[in-house]
């Protein structure tokens, strides 16, 4: 489990990005992957909206507009995903709808990781940040359980990734000391 809210959210973003890549390349598994993406997106959004966003708005009332914008982007992604679900997975329309959905989510992730999460780190003390991380993970897993998706709270496929792939994920997550880590150490750092 990630140690704080920022790490937990960013780890979940990386998990979703891996699912997006699989959906682009594993054409025969698209129906199952879209179902998993839908469940994980719902769980992520609910956990942020129930646990993290209210804490940020309370700690720093000037962030209410960014929080509201984040919620709007969650709804936009859900609408785009609904369109994707209704599209034939083997069609060109699916590829177009997938790109539109992924682009919207990436835009949201970029805004969240460059604005909302740094502001959260500034607004709450480290102990509260850890508490929010635990609350985010509990709520996320609770929603996944309700939707029938198993999740241990750890990244889904770290053991099958190469050291280079793990390093790139560690770089995205801004894990310190990553260049000196071996494959197992990178996987452990990404899983925490």
Convert the pLDDT of each residue in 93-124 to its tens digit. 999 999 999 999 999 999 999 999 999 999 99
Q: How many domains does the chain have?
A: 2
Q: Both 109 and 177 in a single domain?
A: no
pLDDT at 180: 92
Compute φ and ψ for 149, nearest 5 degrees.
Answer: -110, 125
pLDDT at 144: 94
Q: Both 119 and 169 in a single domain?
A: no
Beta carbons of 101 and 33 less than 8 angstroms apart: no
Q: Both 111 and 69 in a single domain?
A: yes
Residue 187's domain spans which residues? 162-192
Residue 112 half-sphere exposure, CB side, CA atoms within 13 Å? Answer: 30
What pLDDT band is residue 3 in, cutting at 50, 70 and 90? confident
Convert the pLDDT of each residue in 31-81 to its tens digit. 999 999 999 999 999 999 999 999 999 999 999 999 999 999 999 999 999
Q: The tokens of 110 are what? A: 């970029």
Convert the pLDDT of each residue in 11-27 to its tens digit. 999 999 999 999 999 99
Q: Both 139 and 187 in a single domain?
A: no
Residue 48 half-sphere exposure, CB side, CA atoms within 13 Å? Answer: 29
The predicted model scores a pTM of 0.78
Tokens 């309700």 found at: 146
Beta carbons of 91 and 119 less than 8 angstroms apart: no
Q: The tokens of 142 are what? A: 């609770």
Q: Both 140 and 181 in a single domain?
A: no
Q: Both 92 and 142 in a single domain?
A: yes
pLDDT at 171: 85
Distant-in-sequence, close-in-space partners of 29: CB < 8 Å, separation ≥ 6: 22, 23
Q: Both 72 and 167 in a single domain?
A: no
**Within a 10 A sphere around the Cβ of 91, how many other Cβ atoms?**
10
pLDDT at 1: 46
* Longest CA–CA separation in the chain, Å: 49
Instruction: Give just the sign of the alpha carbon dihedral 41, 46, 51, 54.
Output: positive
Does pLDDT of 153 surpass 80?
A: no
């Amino acid at each position: 489990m990630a140690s704080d809210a920022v790490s937990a959210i960013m780890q979940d973003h990386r998990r979703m990005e891996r699912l997006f890549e699989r959906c682009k390349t594993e054409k025969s598994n698209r129906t199952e992957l879209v179902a998993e993406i839908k469940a994980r997106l719902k769980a992520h959004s609910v956990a942020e909206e129930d646990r993290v966003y209210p804490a940020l708005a309370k700690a720093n009332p000037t962030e209410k507009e960014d929080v509201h914008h984040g919620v709007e982007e969650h709804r936009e992604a859900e609408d785009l995903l609904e369109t994707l679900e209704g599209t034939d997975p083997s069609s060109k329309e699916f590829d177009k709808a997938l790109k539109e959905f992924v682009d919207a989510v990436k835009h949201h992730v970029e805004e969240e990781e460059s604005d909302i999460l740094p502001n959260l780190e500034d607004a709450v003390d480290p102990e509260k940040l850890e508490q929010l991380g635990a609350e985010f993970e509990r709520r996320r897993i609770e929603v996944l359980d309700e939707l029938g998706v198993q999740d241990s709270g750890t990244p889904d496929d770290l053991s099958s990734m190469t050291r280079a792939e793990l390093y790139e994920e560690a770089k995205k997550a801004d894990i310190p000391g990553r260049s000196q880590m071996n494959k197992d150490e990178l996987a452990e750092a990404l899983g925490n």
